[in-house]
Structure 1
Amino acid sequence: MFSFRFKTIFILFILFFVCIIVRLFQLQIVESDKYKGISKTRRIATHPLDSTRGSIFDRNGNILAIDQHTFDISVNYKNLLYCSITLMKKTIPRITGLEVHKQTKKSCRDCHANQDIWLKKLSHLLNIPQVKLLECTGQAIEKVEKLKQNMEQKYGRAIRIKEETDFYPIVSEVDWEKIIQIETKQDDFPGIRVTPRPERIYPEQTLASHILGYIGKLTADEWQAQSDKWNNFILASSSAGHETMSLLYDGYAENDMIGRTGVEAYYEDELHGLRGKRFEEITCKNTQIEKVVLERPPVPGNDLYLTIDSQIQAHAEKSLGTNSGAIIVMNPWTGEIVAMASNPRFNPNTVEKDFRKLNKHPSKPFLNRAIQGALPPGSIFKVITTTAALSSNRITTQTTFECPGYIRYKNILFRCWSEYGHGLVTAEDAIPYSCNVFFFETAKMLPGETLYSWAKKFGIGEKTGIDLPHEKAGNIPKLATTASTMNVAIGQGALLTTPLQLARVYAAIANGGTLVQPHILLKITNSQGETVRTFQSKNIQKLSVSPDIINMLRTSLQEVVSRGTAKGKGLDVYKVAGKTGTAETGRHKDNHAWFVGYAPYDNPEYCFVILVEHTPGHGGDVAGPIARELMTLLFPEIDAAS
């Protein structure tokens, strides 16, 4: 019984094996010419599919940046080439040098009568002269022919390169109605392909341009770097068991767009998405598409929700007017940037067209002054000098100094801003009146390394870690002499700070002594609206400042508005606490005017920084009214009540 079953199985196995051999013989020997012919006449072509870049929203869901699809028309190189030869009279050496071309008495137009069908049809449909349609093709033809020539010289024979089968754009941003006509009558437009292309739109024009940034085309070096990065990613994916990643998706393409500045650059990996692929079977003779074998849709980039309130941002930019400078509004408890205005600004919609002019403009419109403008802070720095002196017990709140309007140290005359002086002054008077002499005297008692150390504790001379590119660290100099310490004590000398660093310092006073991490990102969501991640602060530090010193500083900053250098600016109704500052530039009547503070002082909701560069005025006179205008939007209920 078992012998019979074994023989049956063995015979079936032999028959199955013989069938396979016969079929292979038929395919590889008998029908080999048939399949060789098919392989020579047909190919599988791969075409990338552009992904949609993620959108950017403000904290309330208002659109700040979005991709809108526009349509380009591209033409197969062969059709493009012969139309360029016949209509534009362009000479192609490899064609004019052919024997068959030399011997024929016919013109190129006679030999290739059907090659311009697409051109006539398209010209009529779009109402664009044929010559106009071909004007932009010269560069593409020159590039392909040069590449082909180099390859043929390298291998010593005629070679058909991939670029000869590609499609090249000739018309951009075609109306949808025209696109429908082309798509529904493809036989009338041989060799033409409609290519959807995402176009980055910034609906609010110049609003928050330094925060958003802009995008630009990859350079050759950047494309190579991105290609290497993608290849490494593919290798890692394969190692992890995701071998289909390289088959289904693509990384960056040549001339792809990439974020250059702002969150467009900082969150490029989140925004970019993954390009899909289309696999097409084409006829090699005329490069016509026979069928789509496989299409993998692209994966859209993730969306960003920012901490910015676009209404407050717009008001801050309006408050700056035509002044060069910056305004920052920040939550002192979380570090969320509610507004960050920098002027002059630029329009990210037109950067590509205006780049050269903007880049050479003396006002430096690409400079984000809020994080890149490193300037002397002037009297804004005096809260750090006070903290250093009180914390090291060099002075007490009862320490007094006489201010006659100046002080001599060795052979150097140090002047107070008040020509007549302030009389007998304590620390609680020195901050509201911004008495330079008090801080000169304090600096004489304060070792330079102590002041330097406390400035570093407050984050001066270091980047805040905000999620924006190209932030500057500023500079806190080593204080080797008493004279240099006296200069830095009032925010002058070689001391340089950014507006964002000062926002962080005053936020720490407002919240009780914590250095928060400023940030722009609120959350990231995918194309289904699901939250991928939220911002997690990593750079939060608790300052070792006693509550008594914090309370003394807060009281003094309140009195800046009630009886000090910001008195009479209309800020007391908003319960503003802050410090004015006038930093000298070294040129006659040329200052940087500052006002930094928070409101309301009994329960701070906002910390703010106002900077106006290169003005003849002083901090309170120039920045004070701007602060008043800013408060009207931050606290509209107070205006309504009054």
Structure 2
Amino acid sequence: MTDYLDNVDSDWFSKRLSAALTVVIAAFVVLIARLLFLQVIDGAELRRLSEINSIRLRSVDAPRGLIYDIHNRLMADNRPSYDLSITVKDANPLERTIEKLSRYTGIDEAQLWERLEKARGTRAYKPVLLKPDIGREALAAIEVNRWDLPGILVNVSPRRDYIFSPSLAHLLGYMGEISVEELKNKIYSDCKSGDFIGKFGIERVREDWLRGERGGQQVEVNATGQVVRVINTVGATPGHNIVLSIDQSLQLTAEQLLADQAGAAVAVDPSSGQILAMVSSPSFDQNAFISGMSHDTWNALISDPLHPLENKAIQGEYPPASTYKIIVAAAALEEGVIDESTSFFCPGFLKLGNRTYRCWKKWGHGEVSILRALSESCDVYFYKVGLELGVDRLAWYANAFGLGEPTGVDLGHEEGGLIPTAQWKKKRTGVSWQKGETLSIAIGQGFNLTTPLQMAMVASAVGNGGVRYRPMIVKTIRTADGQTMYESVPEVVGRLPISEKNLWLVKEGLFKAVNERHGTAWRSRLEGMAMSGKTGTAQVAGRRDDAADGENDWGSIKDHAWFVAYAPRENPRIAVAVIVEHGEHGSSAAAPVAAEMIRFYLSGGQPNPDAPMAVATASSAEGD
């Protein structure tokens, strides 16, 4: 019985095993047949399809942060740019594709090859930027001939647009394509070849806030490099938006006032140090740096004798001329060299050794006190005061007023000017300081050099009662959705080393300079606005210190015209410094510009149809 049962189990197991083997063999036969079909019968077609479609990763550029003025008026925006690229792997034959691309778009073929040569070493499936911002006509030509241009891509990316260009050019700055050297810098680690970055002004200084974070896409492309479908997207993070302290209406007004002249104008809020306007004339078109600038245009810019690329407000260094008398007066009063009643006689000149140093008023001012010396800008008075103080004490006070070093404004490439000392001259020339040089220093000539921004900050500190602020331009930084990341606060960097009484005397002299009939800026007074200020006429290279009034060894080279001011007289809301290169007289060239800026601002931006849009110089009889 047991043997019978064993035989039954064995037969049942054998049948089940046979059935399983049959199934396995059948599965293998089907699999082998399928493989043979795919490899032999359909292999060529499948290979073609695998080569046609492939998965690529594409970067998505982040929209750059926007820039607004203090009233939230947009000044720097983004617009769509059509950027031409090539994927070398897909552009076969490469030579023929480049030749056709040049023919269809009108882009120089040599320029296309030059860009490819620069990208040598880039992976063949990575797009290479051939030309940014090609324009709609070139885009249309490429779209019409798309199937004849394998590997050619046109991507739409955000591109900077300066709405009021050339207005605000030196302040906002401009963008340019990142260089090979910059790509090696760690601060640009997230950038790639072909990216545009800030090169100058706010665009450069605040690049890290404005740039944003790049996104990406996983896409399927066909044999010609065209996108078949988007598989996945990681969105880009927009850059932060920046609100500046600049009042755009005041800025435009100042630019119009300096039209067709070389010079600079700076307006500051004396209660905070925030810059309300910063003009450098002549200007340039920032958008030309974005769309592409020809070699001829670039050469014309850099060779222009008026230096349009220079921000004269912070980079232009000029003798401060008679505006420096503000500091000399403060130093003399504080050091006890003079007081309110001290007077000197001005016959129109001062003799020192075998030289004669003249006053701008060649027949002299007569008996002069400090208030009249400031208001009528008597050179002889300040010659005598300067001799008493000496160069080193003058330098100490000038430094204490913020001269001789950069102000620390949040812009790049600021110059610090020069305030000389006896030691400085000895070290530089090996020659000791001479008394005659002190006379030149005392009226803001000689080795003295200042920037318009520095002098605006001097006027601001005098007007507000002696507080020195660091000038600021960036007011607020916000994310794209409005979250505040940074809010500026006034930063006090020091106080003027002068007593309240002595500062009052200086301020009284500046008020009289504008509001009394014999004051040098009488013609620029403002009804109901109580402006205080100081004119200045800075001699340029080639003019002798002892030249008679009106003489100029260089013929057509005229002196620079200065004016610094603040208003109202009490609790001022605006301080201004203006320089007009070769304007000749501060009273006739610079003072009207500053006065109109102040009038415009204090009147709430009301236009003045009688404003001098391009101020002509007047006769030398007006003095400073």
TM class by smaller structure: 0.7 to 0.9
CA drift at 1:139: 5.1
Which amino acid is 2:209 matched to?
E
Which amino acid is 1:512 matched to?
G
- How many angstroms apart in 1 are the aligned matches of 2:512 and 2:126? 76
Partner of 1:532: 485
Partner of 1:333: 271
Instruction: Return the match for 1:63 from 64, 69, 74.
Output: 74
Counterpart mapping for 1:527-606 below 5 A:
527-538=480-491, 540-563=493-516, 564-585=519-540, 586-587=542-543, 588-589=551-552, 590-606=558-574
For the pair 1:221 / 2:221, whether they are aligned, the reply is no
Could you list the per-position Cα deviations for residues 461-520 of structure 1 after superposition, in whole angstroms to 9, with x for gaps in the alignment?
110111111111010111444322221111010000001111111111111111111111
- Are residues 377 and 230 of structure 1, via their aligned partners in 2, closer, same or farther at CA, if it must alter by over 3 Å? closer
- How many angstroms apart in 2 are the aligned matches of 1:206 and 1:60? 20
- How many angstroms apart in 2 are the aligned matches of 1:457 and 1:502? 13
Partner of 2:28: none
Larger relative helix fraction? 1
CA drift at 1:84: 4.2
- How many angstroms apart in 2 are the aligned matches of 1:417 and 1:200? 50
For the pair 1:163 / 2:124, whether they are aligned, the reply is yes
- How many angstroms apart in 1 are the aligned matches of 2:72 and 2:475? 11
* Alignment check: 8 A CA contact 2:92 2:150 kept: no
- How many angstroms apart in 2 are the aligned matches of 1:146 and 1:624? 53
Helix, strand or coil for the counterpart of 1:568? helix
Partner of 1:100: none
- Are residues 400 and 572 of structure 1, via their aligned partners in 2, closer, same or farther at CA, if it must alter by over 3 Å? farther
Instruction: Return the match for 2:453 from 500, 523, 531.
Output: 500
- How many angstroms apart in 1 are the aligned matches of 2:171 and 2:79? 21
Could you list the per-position Cα deviations for residues 513-551 of structure 1 after superposition, in whole angstroms to 9, with x for gaps in the alignment?
111111111111111022110124445212231100111
Instruction: Return the match for 1:297 from 215, 235, 259.
Output: 235
CA drift at 1:43: 6.5
Partner of 2:201: 262
* Alignment check: 8 A CA contact 1:374 1:498 kept: yes
Partner of 1:622: 589
Counterpart mapping for 1:178-197 below 5 A:
191=151, 193-197=153-157
Partner of 2:352: 409
- How many angstroms apart in 2 are the aligned matches of 1:83 and 1:474? 56
CA drift at 1:628: 3.5
- Are residues 172 and 388 of structure 1, via their aligned partners in 2, closer, same or farther at CA, if it must alter by over 3 Å? same
- How many angstroms apart in 2 are the aligned matches of 1:577 and 1:367? 29
- How many angstroms apart in 2 are the aligned matches of 1:532 and 1:282? 40
Helix, strand or coil for the counterpart of 1:440? helix
For the pair 1:132 / 2:92, whether they are aligned, the reply is no
- Are residues 146 and 178 of structure 1, via their aligned partners in 2, closer, same or farther at CA, if it must alter by over 3 Å? closer
Could you list the per-position Cα deviations for residues 117-175 of structure 1 after superposition, in whole angstroms to 9, with x for gaps in the alignment?
xx8xxxxxxxxx98324855665557658987xx8xxxxxxxxx722563665783348
- Are residues 477 and 144 of structure 1, via their aligned partners in 2, closer, same or farther at CA, if it must alter by over 3 Å? closer
- Are residues 281 and 427 of structure 1, via their aligned partners in 2, closer, same or farther at CA, if it must alter by over 3 Å? same
- How many angstroms apart in 2 are the aligned matches of 1:404 and 1:141? 74
> 79-88 vs 621-630, which deviates more?
79-88
Partner of 2:169: 209
CA drift at 1:635: 3.1
- Are residues 543 and 273 of structure 1, via their aligned partners in 2, closer, same or farther at CA, if it must alter by over 3 Å? same
TM-score, with normalisation over the residues of structure 2?
0.78
- How many angstroms apart in 2 are the aligned matches of 1:130 and 1:214? 29
Counterpart mapping for 1:254-403 below 5 A:
254-280=193-219, 292-351=230-289, 352-353=292-293, 354-403=297-346
Could you list the per-position Cα deviations for residues 262-295 of structure 1 after superposition, in whole angstroms to 9, with x for gaps in the alignment?
1111111111111112234667x77676764542
- How many angstroms apart in 2 are the aligned matches of 1:194 and 1:143? 16
* Alignment check: 8 A CA contact 2:153 2:226 kept: no
Helix, strand or coil for the counterpart of 2:283? coil
- Are residues 475 and 297 of structure 1, via their aligned partners in 2, closer, same or farther at CA, if it must alter by over 3 Å? same
- How many angstroms apart in 1 are the aligned matches of 2:116 and 2:564? 59
Helix, strand or coil for the counterpart of 1:408? strand
- How many angstroms apart in 2 are the aligned matches of 1:431 and 1:141? 66
* Alignment check: 8 A CA contact 2:342 2:369 kept: yes
- How many angstroms apart in 1 are the aligned matches of 2:149 and 2:128? 14
CA drift at 1:426: 1.2
* Alignment check: 8 A CA contact 1:165 1:287 kept: no
Partner of 2:59: 48
* Alignment check: 8 A CA contact 1:75 1:193 kept: yes
- Are residues 190 and 364 of structure 1, via their aligned partners in 2, closer, same or farther at CA, if it must alter by over 3 Å? closer
* Alignment check: 8 A CA contact 1:76 1:168 kept: no
Partner of 1:82: 93
Instruction: Return the match for 2:442 from 489, 500, 505.
Output: 489
- How many angstroms apart in 2 are the aligned matches of 1:147 and 1:199? 22
CA drift at 1:73: 5.4
Which amino acid is 2:191 matched to?
Y
- How many angstroms apart in 2 are the aligned matches of 1:419 and 1:130? 70
CA drift at 1:221: 0.8
CA drift at 1:409: 1.6
- Are residues 403 and 280 of structure 1, via their aligned partners in 2, closer, same or farther at CA, if it must alter by over 3 Å? same
- Are residues 137 and 444 of structure 1, via their aligned partners in 2, closer, same or farther at CA, if it must alter by over 3 Å? closer
- How many angstroms apart in 1 are the aligned matches of 2:177 and 2:467? 41
> 417-426 vs 291-300, which deviates more?
291-300
Q: CA RMSD in A?
A: 3.6
* Alignment check: 8 A CA contact 2:91 2:149 kept: no
Could you list the per-position Cα deviations for residues 543-580 of structure 1 after superposition, in whole angstroms to 9, with x for gaps in the alignment?
23110011111111110012211123343542110001
Partner of 2:19: none
Could you list the per-position Cα deviations for residues 432-467 of structure 1 after superposition, in whole angstroms to 9, with x for gaps in the alignment?
011111111111211322111111101111101111
TM-score, with normalisation over the residues of structure 1?
0.76
- How many angstroms apart in 1 are the aligned matches of 2:439 and 2:171? 36
* Alignment check: 8 A CA contact 1:72 1:172 kept: yes
- Are residues 78 and 507 of structure 1, via their aligned partners in 2, closer, same or farther at CA, if it must alter by over 3 Å? same
- Are residues 409 and 167 of structure 1, via their aligned partners in 2, closer, same or farther at CA, if it must alter by over 3 Å? closer
